[in-house]
Amino acid sequence: LYYIIMNKYALIIGIEYKNLRENIPRAYKKAIEIRKKLTDNEGYLYKNIAILTDAQTGKGAFHDSLFKPTKENIFREIERICKKSYSFIDNYEFKLFYIGHGRNIYSDINESNDECMVPTCGNIIITEELEHLLRAFNTNSKIEVVLDNYLCMNKFRFIKVS
């Protein structure tokens, strides 16, 4: 049982955009609720769940996240967790949750509209970039992504990459 629990990792991104008119005041609270569900119901260890947020989470500091949810920091955290996937032969699980703004943009690559995430830095993350990054995980990994995008035509999207 311990072996299986150690194989579960999650990244939860909750961006409130405090300085914007279209802020998301409950994004951090949603992130905490997701973490509680993962630890209480799905066997995740608290220490294996990273939260990136721009919310003030305790005594004027970013208690849960050492870094703000910029594109660079999101990619760095995914890559850090990805490296761990090669330490396990089987049963590796990674879940990514995003609560934040999204946009639909036209992509020349597939000549269609693509969804994107809007981190705090303003440098968007196109869904295709995210999927490319997730394909670097060990092929035996089970990966799930939940995008709760505000200001996007597709408000909620689930991606499964295996």
Least confident of 32-41, 46-55, 102-111, 122-131: 102-111
Higher-confidence position of 63 and 16 = 16
Asked whether 104 and 112 are in contact (CB, 8 A), the reply is no
The 3 state secondary structure assigned to 107-140 is: ECCCCEEEEEECCCCCCCEEHHHHHHHHCCCCCC
Q: What pLDDT is recorded for position 113?
A: 65
Question: pTM above 0.75?
Answer: yes
The model's pLDDT over 121-160, given as tens digits with 9 standing for 90+, comes to 778 888 788 888 888 888 888 888 888 877 555 544 555 5
How far is residue 116's CA from residue 124's CA, in Å, rounded to a whole number? 6
Average pLDDT over residues 65-89: 85
- Tokens (6 digits) for 57: 């989470």
pLDDT at 64 over 60: no
- Tokens (6 digits) for 33: 């609720």
In the predicted model, what is the mean pLDDT of the chain?
79
The model's pLDDT over 89-114, given as tens digits with 9 standing for 90+, comes to 677 889 999 998 887 776 665 566 66
